[in-house]
Amino acid sequence: MTTDVTQLAAVRVERVREIATARRHLRGPLIPILHAVQEDLGHIDEVDVPVLADVLNLAVAEVHGVVTFYRDFRRAPAGRATVRICQAEACQAVGAEELGAHAKRRLGVGYGETTTDGAVTLDEVFCLGNCALGPAVQIGERLHGRVSPARFDALLAEVTR
């Protein structure tokens, strides 16, 4: 088991190094590299930080600071379903804040967190391009409009059953 974990970490570190090395010539490379790592590996793991610092010749604390500052970066694997609730102005005007509070209560997590059973990750986003049909929610790849708390519960039931 320990060997498996160690091997997995080694494979991950190798992949992170490849991703970072391929992009280190970019101007301001850290953010695009972090996005690329997250897209490829699902999240930014603790073990990634010293590798990125090494490739980019930055302090570990500097990389860690960026990862923790930007909400875009996930520091743990996402749940099986990702639920994103729009909190931009047009959606806020039609109840997105209340919907967000409902979702947090219902799932027992805050934004950027995953339920303990690993089923759902809840995120807030700022505009899903569906402003006329707020509150807008994206579940996985699917966009939903005019989502009331009751509709939210029904949509959630579909992805968690």
Which stretch, 52-60, 72-80, 81-89, 106-114, contacts ligand FES (CB under 6 A)?
A: 81-89
Cβ 130 to ligand FES, closest distance in Å? Answer: 4
Residue 121 and residue 79 in contact, taking contact as beta carbons nearer than 8 Å = yes
For the chain, the residue count is 161
CA 36, 57, 8: angle at the middle one, nearest 5? 50
Q: Is residue 90 involved in binding ligand FES (CB under 6 A)?
A: yes
- Give the 3-state secondary structure of residue 114: strand
Q: Of 79 and 134, which has the nearer Cβ to ligand FES?
A: 134
Which stretch, 38-46, 89-97, 106-114, 116-124, contacts ligand FES (CB under 6 A)?
A: 89-97
Residue 87 and residue 126 in contact, taking contact as beta carbons nearer than 8 Å = yes
Q: Is residue 127 involved in binding ligand FES (CB under 6 A)?
A: yes
Cβ 85 to ligand FES, closest distance in Å? Answer: 9
- The DSSP call for residue 46 is T
Site string for ligand FES, 30-69 (x = CB under 6 A): ----------------------------------------
Cα–Cα distance measured from residue 21 to residue 10, given in angstroms and rounded to the nearest whole number: 16
Q: Is residue 143 involved in binding ligand FES (CB under 6 A)?
A: no
Torsion angle (degrees, nearest 10) of CA 91, 31, 83, 138 = 50
Among residues 91, 122, 137, 156, the one that binds ligand FES under rule CB under 6 A:
91
How many C-beta atoms lie closer than 10 Å to residue 117's C-beta?
9
Query: Would you tell me which residues interact with ligand FES (CB under 6 A)?
Result: 86, 88-91, 127-131, 134, 136
